[in-house]
Structure 1
Amino acid sequence: MSAAPVTERGRRTRDRLLEAARAVFEERGFLETRVSDIAERANVAIGTFYTYFDSKDAIFVALVDAFIAALYEQSHVGEVAGPDPRQRIRTSNARFVEAFRRHGNLYGVIVQAASFNDEVRRRRLASRSVFIERATRGLRQLQAQGVADPTLDADVTAALLCGMVENFVERSHDLGLPFDDEAAVDAMTEIWARAIGLAP
């Protein structure tokens, strides 16, 4: 990928290309999108595109990285949820669902591209590992505090629970299932809390 722009004008042009690329990828999918489509949507010359990105794959990988960073950041609860573990789980689930709703169309293209693009597949798997590692750390802290079942394998349990949430939001988005987000988050939270042995 080309070096990041150093001028404000260059950064604006690069951002415009990314916005255009996302719109075109979401409309047409990865395979049907061409560099010329992105340049036309961004209202720039094709040569300008190649000033900032080496290829269609390169700009898509940049979008994937931005998507992963946004999803991780937007689902992180920090101190906003307070110390109650059940509330922290609920807040994290709610934020993940909300973030996925904003980015779900792009996620569908990422899944498509990951089926044949090794770099996209690698990034998708790495992003899953980051979410699972965060959940694992949280579960181990709760076990150390004596509020979660100490007999659970934290790595396996976190992977299973993260998979539940990811699979639900992905399938409900792809299939257009008419679930109420609040009800879904309540159910996810209850399943998660019971699975790790939190007191009612």
Structure 2
Amino acid sequence: MTSAEDAASVASLDKTPRTARGRKTLRALLDAAASEFGERGFHEASISAITRRAGVALGSFYTYFDSKDAVFRALVTDLSAQVRDHVAPAVRAAGDGIAAERAGLAQFIGFVREHKEIYRIIDEAEFVDPDSFRSHYASTAERIDQRLRAAAMRGEVRSDVSDVHAWAIMGMNVFLGLRFGVWNEDRSVEDVADLAASLLRHGLMPEDL
């Protein structure tokens, strides 16, 4: 499923748009919700502010969503899909398992620099909609786990990779994205990705041991 298809599927039950115009309006609402929740947080955000940002009538919101909670839940799913689709082509094009993780991190930090609001939204999801929060991270870790296991089968990484390794890599990526994507852009994406890839490839053991 592509991010466009994901966007069309996140409306409230029985409100999935069936026309191109409807999908365009839904996309505008989700983008406006990202800006509103990202700037004001869930509790201060309002449906009327989202529709003003989207440039649509207030009534149009309820064509797609039942509540503020519903659009927030849809937004978490949508952002997760956007990250997945942004990262996937570079990961697929990588030469080996470590290169794939390097490419994924580089693309993720690049995405974060253009969508800094993602961290506030995902963090709030832990309390606003714990199921979406958990699903976001669980699905991300599962994709990494699948990549690592495939790389292990090809002999590119150690044979005993597991979900622990996948969650560790994801945790590293999350905090590198926060530090070098949101807080400060004082190092190049390529430099950060290279150092992280070196850590994965060689670990922290001194080179002479």
TM-score, with length taken from structure 1: 0.82
- 1:20 corresponds to: 32
C-alpha contact (below 8 Å) 1:139/1:158 kept by paired residues: yes
Deviation for aligned residue 1:78: 5.1
RMSD over aligned Cα atoms: 2.5
- 1:158 corresponds to: 166
Cα distance, 1:32–1:81 mapped onto 2, change above 3 Å: same
C-alpha contact (below 8 Å) 2:76/2:136 kept by paired residues: no
Residues 1:175 and 2:188 are matched in the alignment? no
CA distance, structure 2, for counterparts of residue 181 and residue 133 of structure 1? 24
CA distance, structure 2, for counterparts of residue 18 and residue 140 of structure 1? 34
Q: Which is further off, 134-143 or 171-180? A: 171-180
Please, which runs of 5 or more residues in structure 1 have no aligned partner?
none
| Percent identical residues | 33
Deviation for aligned residue 1:7: 3.0
Cα distance, 1:189–1:67 mapped onto 2, change above 3 Å: same
- 2:9 corresponds to: none
CA distance, structure 2, for counterparts of residue 130 and residue 28 of structure 1? 27
Number of residue pairs matched by the alignment: 192
Deviation for aligned residue 1:192: 1.3
- Alignment counterpart, residue 93 of structure 2, candidates 59, 65, 80: 80
Q: Which is further off, 66-75 or 43-52? A: 43-52
Cα distance, 1:52–1:73 mapped onto 2, change above 3 Å: same
Within-5 A mapping of 1:57-96: 57-76=69-88, 77=90, 79-82=92-95, 84-96=96-108
TM-score, with length taken from structure 2: 0.79
C-alpha contact (below 8 Å) 2:141/2:166 kept by paired residues: yes
Residues 1:148 and 2:163 are matched in the alignment? no
Deviations 1:72-122 (A, max 9, x none): 12212454223x3333332222122222222221332221x22421x3x22
- 2:125 corresponds to: 114
Please, which runs of 5 or more residues in structure 2 have no aligned partner?
1-11
Amino acid at match of 1:136: D
- Alignment counterpart, residue 193 of structure 1, candidates 198, 201, 208: 201
- 2:138 corresponds to: 129
